[in-house]
Structure 1
Amino acid sequence: MHWVREFDSAAGAYYLQIANMIEMAVGEGRLLPGDRLPPQRALAQRLGVDLTTVTRAYTEARQRHLLDAVTGRGSFVAAAVERAGPPVDLGMNIPPPPQGVRLGELIQRGVNDLLTRSNVDLLMTYHVGAGSKAERAAGAAWIEPALGRVAPERIVVCPGAQATILALIETLSPPGAPIICEALTYPGLLGAAHFLGRRVLAAEMDDDGVLPASIERLAVAEKAKLVCLTPTIQNPTTATLPRRRREQIVALAEKHDLILIEDDPYHLLAEDAPPPLSALAPHRAYYISTVSKVLCPGLRCAYLALPIGVEADRVLENLRAASLMPAPLMSALLTHWIQVGLAQEILAGVRTEAHLRQKLAAEILPKAARAHRNGLHVWLPLPPHWERLRLVETMRREGLGVSASDAFAATPHAPDAIRISLGGVTERTRLAQALKSIRQILDAERRPRSMVV
């Protein structure tokens, strides 16, 4: 039992800690495919816990595809599963698993509740409108902490933020039209603009986010009318626009008759963010709130709050063209979770775990790293001796996946910086090891190049 360690009183339920020990030992090569684990009773005695705890731990490990159980022989480490990308993925912005939350059980229980009180035939048929009354009311309740009270009639239930952005660009701008966005922005926005044949105009930024004066210069010079921004915990820079700048953007939008698309996936994590642009300009801003960054991506749901007085018809037409509808089962499950308060509990757990991971990153990474205390990622400008693409390749060879700034650049000139996402590694201890590896690579001096020719 060389892989067994003592329990941490602050690390959650014992059965989860045992499963995490197994996962870590497998990841570090201390347990190899085919290795037989000790009998449950023996491990329970070794750790001083009851047999039920170990049984739950082995079940959890099997659900993580770490173990195979062979009747009459015991439990064995499963064969390694081939994964796309590097072994430690710090390149995908997803919410970290909150401690003590068993998502599989919550989904199973929620679906069972839905099947008990719903007409399955109606649930699983086509749903091509803006959402049912219950779904739109749930969406209004979900975004209320950010926007305040919103009439459910303004809500459109959408199949994720990406499809929503695509549909809004198609709805609000003609082919070839310019779109103003941050100089470093969400890759999905760049992809949607390119796919639809729109021109991206990069507004300048500083440490506080996009510069209103740059937006205005572009709007005037290029006759641009559509502006797409992420004002809170901006991806990738982590900047949160101060209230004063938000007010300036709203004022220049009024002055130049601009339409605002506000992609706001991280607002509910932030807690300290100023009011959204859409709260300051409810007649000219489209507000997108996805649950992919605060609950889990697999729900594939986002809520769109339309500007006051705007009908949903044209947006719905383009949403149907992009992705016919949200998955009805997932939308119904999310509605149920919001109604009973479970979604808010998961959100609080994700926020707490994200905060703990940010503290960990602050302790390990260089002081140049930028982050929000509850954010999912870190933005790291590089020291002079590292060029971003060479660094990314070096990290990949070490089994670490991060994102170079090129993926976010709205111009051909990207800064030497990387984004490090903290949510994709299940075990916090393993995340710490990965961050320490990144720090060691960053601190390594670049060898002088040979002058021999």
Structure 2
Amino acid sequence: MATPNTIQLSLPDGKGPLHERLADAVEKLIASGRYGRGDRLPTHRDIARGANVAIGTVTKAIDLLEKRGVVRGETGRGTFVNAPVKADDEFVDLNFNVPLPVVDEGQFRAAAILASSRLGSVPNGGYPEPGGGRDQRVAVAAWLSDTRLQADPDDLLICIGGQHAIHLAMADLASHTKVVGTESAAFSGAIAAARNLGLELHPVDHDQHGMIPSDLQRMLRKTGCKAIYLTPVCQNPFGFEMGEERRREIVEICRRNDTYIIEDDIYSVYTQSKSATFYELAPDLVYYINGLSKSLTPLIRVGVLLPPRSRRAAIASRVRAEVWGTSPFDTEVARALFEAEAHTKARDILRSEARHRVEVARRVLGLADVPMPNGAPHIWLPMATASAEKLARRALERGVRVTPPDATAIAGEKSGGVRLCLMAPHQRASLERALRILADLSRNPAFEVV
């Protein structure tokens, strides 16, 4: 274990506030291996001496590192390293859309202990009720109500993550339609679910506000499609957010055409427009999906599906036939984290960090604008498909993995580009280094962002 002592800190150059630059310096020191998970940092006074700054500046810097999830303060004991920060010279993966590690080891331990104490009262010896037990559904409904929308516990089903919810929604609609409409590129998990069920995905043109209503109407008439899949907040991979006016237009078109909407709201923690959800606008038409993988942690496989009320019983029967139900332990851990308000802390950290990282990406890559400038977990660099594939290969050769176009493409020229998952690197410096590599590669006219 490292011991507290006076250290020398060289603050990075820049125009940012002094405490932010100090936080970056401490984070870099942790990444170098000087301090590992569970090690105690030097006192505020020792850090102040080593960096030649005021103690108040150190306090602000440590508070910022706590918000990033890098350290945690323990009253009377000091400040301890929390997150496993990767060294800056390691491979940087911008392919997986994962949040920062905002739930620390202590929170997991406390939640697991509480969950374990409750398992003795789980009915049926541990065999779960399909869709979750009543107490668990009440807890998940309360989380949804606190973070996104009012939900009746009797209407929702707890799933094994958002991917399970997507597959259940598409499976329930498979007898109603053989075609699902979406944008020219979509979440790879939704593509996989559709293929697994023998459903054909058809592209609908979009602009910066989402699906273009007139093109949606055209596609529905041409194909006989009776379902569409949407990610209205930070569309995956394009990154835009759909406003309420566009949502209402789409609902009206779907109602006229007897078409259902699968609303994947997994990125709702990043919403900026505060628009009503599709489920709130048309609960009889919408299969609403959310989960913890982007807003808290993917380590607990807990998702939620709010289908049209008339379809809940049929979907619960499918859950029982396929997996019987979700893990009572995972769900109880999630419930304990909700009770500890871990999701509130996580929301504040993720929103703040996403805002910073989007601005860094915009600056380093020289982007005139981005769809969600106040914070998003990923951004999209549009370019010709062949160029995007080449850029992905060249970036990988230089130690940076990005999401290539073939992982998300449905059809059409707008499907060409690469997705950059900005929240995946634990350390800001690693993200910026990866972005500079991409900026250097994109100076080649063959990779020009359009």
Matches of 1:11 and 1:322, distance apart in 2: 49
Q: CA deviation at 1:272?
A: 2.3
Partner of 1:421: 421
Matches of 2:205 and 2:180, distance apart in 1: 14
Q: CA deviation at 1:347?
A: 1.9
1:25-67 alpha-carbon deviations (Å, 9 max, x no partner)? 36xxxx9xxxxx9xx99xx799499xx99x988x848x8398x
Q: Which amino acid in 1 is paired with 2:352? A: T
Partner of 1:451: none
Counterparts in 2 of 1:303 and 1:13: CA distance versus 1, 3 Å: farther
Q: CA deviation at 1:437?
A: 1.9
Q: Does 1:375 align with 2:379?
A: no
Q: CA deviation at 1:294?
A: 1.0
Q: Name which of structure 1's ranges 284-293 and 138-147 shifts more when overlaid on structure 2.
A: 138-147
Q: CA deviation at 1:311?
A: 4.4
Q: How many matched pairs?
A: 408
Q: Which amino acid in 2 is paired with 1:353? A: E
Matched ranges for 1:20-35 at <5 A? 20-23=28-31, 25=32
Matches of 2:385 and 2:163, distance apart in 1: 36
Q: Name which of structure 1's ranges 297-306 and 436-445 shifts more when overlaid on structure 2.
A: 436-445
Matches of 2:390 and 2:250, distance apart in 1: 37
Q: CA deviation at 1:106?
A: 0.7
Partner of 1:138: 139
Is this contact kept in 2: 1:262–1:278, CA < 8 A?
Answer: yes
Matches of 1:20 and 1:175, distance apart in 2: 54
Q: CA deviation at 1:9?
A: 6.5
Q: Does 1:10 align with 2:19?
A: yes
Q: CA RMSD in A?
A: 3.7
Matched ranges for 1:31-430 at <5 A? 47=50, 60=81, 64=84, 87-98=91-102, 103-116=104-117, 118-119=119-120, 125-144=126-145, 148-174=149-175, 177-307=178-308, 309-367=309-367, 370-372=370-372, 373-382=374-383, 387-411=387-411, 415-430=415-430
Counterparts in 2 of 1:65 and 1:89: CA distance versus 1, 3 Å: closer
Residue ranges of structure 1 left out of the alignment (5+ in a row): 32-36, 67-76, 81-85, 448-453
Matches of 2:149 and 2:18, distance apart in 1: 39
Q: Which amino acid in 2 is paired with 1:338? A: F
Is this contact kept in 2: 1:176–1:199, CA < 8 A?
Answer: no
Matches of 1:238 and 1:124, distance apart in 2: 44
Secondary structure, in 3 states, of the residue corresponding to 2:310?
Answer: coil
Counterparts in 2 of 1:6 and 1:112: CA distance versus 1, 3 Å: farther
Matches of 1:117 and 1:379, distance apart in 2: 44
Q: CA deviation at 1:190?
A: 0.9
Q: CA deviation at 1:250?
A: 0.9
1:267-313 alpha-carbon deviations (Å, 9 max, x no partner)? 22214231111111011111001111111111111111222x32422
1:217-259 alpha-carbon deviations (Å, 9 max, x no partner)? 2222221111111112111111112222111111112111111
Counterparts in 2 of 1:203 and 1:415: CA distance versus 1, 3 Å: closer
Q: CA deviation at 1:113?
A: 2.5
Partner of 2:66: none
Counterparts in 2 of 1:112 and 1:254: CA distance versus 1, 3 Å: same
Q: Which amino acid in 1 is paired with 2:97? A: N
- Percent identity (aligned): 22
1:77-126 alpha-carbon deviations (Å, 9 max, x no partner)? 9xx9xxxxx9100111111245xxx5111101111233345527769822
Q: CA deviation at 1:324?
A: 4.2
Counterparts in 2 of 1:214 and 1:414: CA distance versus 1, 3 Å: closer
Matched ranges for 1:430-441 at <5 A? 430-441=430-441
Is this contact kept in 2: 1:3–1:21, CA < 8 A?
Answer: no
Counterparts in 2 of 1:256 and 1:366: CA distance versus 1, 3 Å: same
Secondary structure, in 3 states, of the residue corresponding to 1:119?
Answer: helix
Q: Which amino acid in 2 is paired with 1:254? A: R
Q: CA deviation at 1:205?
A: 1.1
Matches of 2:148 and 2:27, distance apart in 1: 40
Counterparts in 2 of 1:212 and 1:385: CA distance versus 1, 3 Å: closer
Counterparts in 2 of 1:152 and 1:440: CA distance versus 1, 3 Å: same
Q: Which amino acid in 1 is paired with 2:93? A: D
Secondary structure, in 3 states, of the residue corresponding to 2:19?
Answer: coil
Q: CA deviation at 1:265?
A: 0.9
Is this contact kept in 2: 1:145–1:268, CA < 8 A?
Answer: no
Matches of 2:112 and 2:408, distance apart in 1: 37
Counterparts in 2 of 1:12 and 1:349: CA distance versus 1, 3 Å: farther
Secondary structure, in 3 states, of the residue corresponding to 1:161?
Answer: helix
1:122-153 alpha-carbon deviations (Å, 9 max, x no partner)? 69822142212222122222222566422111
Q: Which amino acid in 1 is paired with 2:348? A: A
Partner of 1:71: none
Q: Which amino acid in 2 is paired with 1:269? A: Y
Q: Which amino acid in 2 is paired with 1:389? A: E
Residue ranges of structure 2 left out of the alignment (5+ in a row): 1-5, 56-71
Q: Which amino acid in 1 is paired with 2:84? A: R
1:392-413 alpha-carbon deviations (Å, 9 max, x no partner)? 1110011001112222111275
TM-score using structure 1 length:
0.79
Matches of 2:145 and 2:213, distance apart in 1: 26
Q: CA deviation at 1:386?
A: 8.2
Is this contact kept in 2: 1:207–1:239, CA < 8 A?
Answer: yes
Counterparts in 2 of 1:173 and 1:118: CA distance versus 1, 3 Å: closer
Q: Which amino acid in 1 is paired with 2:92? A: V
Is this contact kept in 2: 1:180–1:200, CA < 8 A?
Answer: yes
Matches of 2:155 and 2:242, distance apart in 1: 25
Matches of 1:160 and 1:385, distance apart in 2: 31
